[in-house]
Amino acid sequence: MFIDYVEITIRSGKGGDGMVAFRREKYVPKGGPAGGNGGQGGDIIFRTNPQLTTLLDLRYKKIYEAGDGAKGGSSLKDGKNGETLYIDVPVGTMLKDTESEEIIADLNEPGIEFTAAKGGRGGKGNANFTTPTNRAPRYAETGRAGQEFSIALELKLIADVGLVGLPNAGKSTLISSISRAKPKIADYPFTTLVPNLGIVNYKEYKSFVMADIPGIIEGAHEGKGLGLQFLRHIERTKILLVMIESLTEDIKDTYKVLEKELANYSKELSKKPRYVAITKSDLADDDLKKKLSKLKLGGYKGKVFIISAVSGEGISGLLDELWQEIQKCS
């Protein structure tokens, strides 16, 4: 799944209680209060781990607890702090309040740490309450409770390349042919109902992530078709690959429609680096291929790739170009 979602309960540690104690040394005839402070409760911290790509591990445990602080000791010894609990999540994970759905944090970069729940403060020992009028206090503070609440984790994976095109432009066929993604493929519109994510292996020991979203139709930014609710999933991609079927009656008009929908949805999306691929070249005759190789699209100055995910035509050159662009954006 391109988006993963889990709800968990987090509980930071309770602060340790303060200690009531008095000095009992042999050569200190008037021993005073000597109770130490309780330890701080452990925090719960989410941190991004680039090696993770799913929230699957968090599905099997619903409650996450940090360690409690230890009770203060005698002789002014403070209790040990509770152990902090670190929860590793993939880059692109959003933390949300389960009730209001408000975004608490967006962990969209490697190496981010976010403290979601602070541990309770440790209670003060009786040594802290000595006054000129009360030199032997016989009371101490109890530790503060930690925080406990439910939190939703929504994963919006950050892809390197996002595929954009009309329904049946060949996006699913491409991603299934160059990765292990297995989207539904059929000869009718909107076979892709949810985003698909594929890891594309490029040459030796190299790979990048490609995201396929449902086909976009004219008016998608206004809610038509399925594109609107999924356009947000390519907002984080580094590159856009605009795909148009070779047998499309007017390729230039189709390109204008797609560019218009991207711009109307998000100005930032329309500014992303992009490439154009004319798909299903295996269905085009030689005359059409020759015409397509000379195609000029308004506003687009890059190379137009003629490809077929079925025969493999043009795929190698396209991947080379995408990889070079990914390196520039990294």
State residue 281 phi and psi, 5-degree precision. Answer: -65, -20
Specify the pLDDT at position 40.
Answer: 98
- Nearest to residue 162, comparing CAs of 254, 233, 228? 233
What does the DSSP 8-state code read for residue 146? Answer: -
Residue ranges matching CATH 3.40.50.300 in the chain: 161-329
**Architecture field, domain 3-156:** Distorted Sandwich (2.70)
Specify the pLDDT at position 229.
Answer: 52
Residue ranges matching CATH 2.70.210.12 in the chain: 3-156
CA 286, 292, 293 angle in degrees (round to 5)? 90
At residue 165, the 3 state secondary structure works out as strand
Specify the pLDDT at position 189.
Answer: 43
Q: What sign does the dihedral 214-219-222-225 (CA atoms) show?
A: negative
Residue holding tokens 């996002």? Answer: 162
What pLDDT digit, counting tens, does each position of 34-92 carry? 999 999 999 999 999 988 877 888 988 999 999 999 999 999 999 999 999 999 998 88
Distance CA 176, CA 180 (A): 6
Distance CA 297, CA 292 (A): 11
> Which pTM value belongs to this model?
0.67
1 Cβ partners below 8 Å, 6+ apart? 194, 197
Q: What CATH number should be reported for the domain whose range is 161-329?
A: 3.40.50.300
178 Cβ partners below 8 Å, 6+ apart? 198, 200, 210, 309, 315, 319
The rounded mean pLDDT for the chain is 86
Distance CA 312, CA 150 (A): 48
What pLDDT digit, counting tens, does each position of 8-29 carry? 999 999 999 999 999 877 776 6
Alpha-carbon 94 to chain mean position: 6
Distance CA 296, CA 240 (A): 18
Specify the pLDDT at position 233.
Answer: 66
